[in-house]
Amino acid sequence: MGITQQAKNLLKGQWIIAVSVECIRFAAWLVIAFFYLSALTAFSLNPDSVVHVSGIMNGGWLYPVITVFFLILDLLLVSPVLMGRMSFYYKIATGENPTLKEVFKYFGIGRYSKALRWRFFTGIYKLFDLLVCLSPAAVAGGIAKSARQGGGFTPQGDFLMLMGNVSCVFLLIMGLIVYAIISQRRLLPVFLMVSEDEMPKKPFLSSSRKMRGNLTNMFIFNLSFSGRLLSCILVIPMFYVMPLYMTSKTLAAIGIMSENREKQPSAIKPVSQDTLEIPNF
């Protein structure tokens, strides 16, 4: 039985609650986005005119201030919801029947700080990975821009500019692929935190160790869901795709975290590198 079929079986009788969880997660993001855009409108700020350094220095400083404020607000209010969502799917994957209260349990004392630490450090690590992976493309783009602004329409200058643009596009694509692969190292910390087992002192370091040998498999797994995930742009398909995707990914994460089959949750079939199948469409 493939991992996607396992997820479908586990979601039987839980679809309505899973859809409600996705509605809560979507509503939390929508509320933050609404108030952020409302604040920009209230101060007559246009991102196109102030995102550059010159625009900020000429009175556009209010835009980054508002942006940082709402990023902090998102961290404080949405992080517990996101971690509660992951806890919900973890219990689904282990054969339990969680209630809707699971989404809000990380607002409780002793759990709230855990959600903040997870989201904050995940964002920092991913930002660092993205910076490293896209730096070569940025350098190639800078070379192309220098050649374009260097003056003179000589054949050598045109060739250098063309090669810079081509290299920039190629390195950008390759950088995004590499980022998508190495970012899988951050898959397990949230599952280590929401599981009932003893959480390691350094969940991110533990996640990197456990993910060795599984990065490419998880990348292919996510890639196989890319068509369905893209359909979430239309919003409505999201309420079917996300529960299936999150449950499948949680099953895969539980399989990776388990040192052997005896430690697998009894309600699910062991998921290992050999059984991490591409969903059958």
pLDDT, tens digit (0-9, with 9 covering 90-100), for 177-212:
999 998 888 888 888 888 866 566 788 888 888 888
Residue 261, pLDDT > 60, answer: no
Instruction: Give 240: exposed, middle or buried? Use CB within 10 Å, 0-12, 13-18, 19+.
Output: middle
pTM, to two decimals = 0.79
Give me the helix-helix angle, 15-42 and 238-257, nearest 10°. Answer: 110
pLDDT at site 75: 92
Distance CA 87, CA 159 (A): 54
Residue 56, pLDDT > 70, answer: no
Residue 48, pLDDT > 90, answer: no
For the chain, give every domain's residue range.
3-263
User: Could you tell me where the DSSP H helices lie in 103-225?
Assistant: 112-149, 155-182, 189-194, 203-210, 215-224
pLDDT at site 153: 61
Q: pLDDT by residue (tens digit) across 77-103?
A: 999 999 999 999 999 998 888 889 999
Distance CA 159, CA 248 (A): 48
With contact defined as beta carbons under 8 Å apart, do 186 and 204 qualify?
Answer: yes
With contact defined as beta carbons under 8 Å apart, do 189 and 202 qualify?
Answer: no
Neighbours of 7 (CB within 10 A): 24
Residue 104, pLDDT > 90, answer: yes
Residue with tokens 């039985």: 1
Is 100 in a helix, a strand, or coil?
A: helix
pLDDT at site 52: 55
pLDDT at site 275: 47
Question: What does the angle CA 274 – CA 268 – CA 208 come to, to the nearest 5 degrees?
Answer: 55
Average pLDDT score over residue span 32-60? 70
Residue 53, pLDDT > 80, answer: no
Neighbours of 177 (CB within 10 A): 13
Average pLDDT across the chain, whole number: 81
With contact defined as beta carbons under 8 Å apart, do 193 and 118 qualify?
Answer: yes
At residue 277 the predicted structure's pLDDT band, cuts being 50, 70 and 90, is very low
At residue 175 the predicted structure's pLDDT band, cuts being 50, 70 and 90, is very high
At 166, list the tokens.
Answer: 């081509």
Is 190 or 267 the better-scoring residue by pLDDT? 190
Residue 145, pLDDT > 90, answer: no
Residue 263, pLDDT > 70, answer: no
With contact defined as beta carbons under 8 Å apart, do 105 and 84 qualify?
Answer: yes
Q: Which of 184, 202, 181, 187 is nearest to 253 (CA)?
A: 187
Residues 6+ apart with CB under 8 A from 222: 180, 184, 249
Question: Which range is least confidently modeled, 48-52, 112-116, 230-234, 276-280?
Answer: 276-280
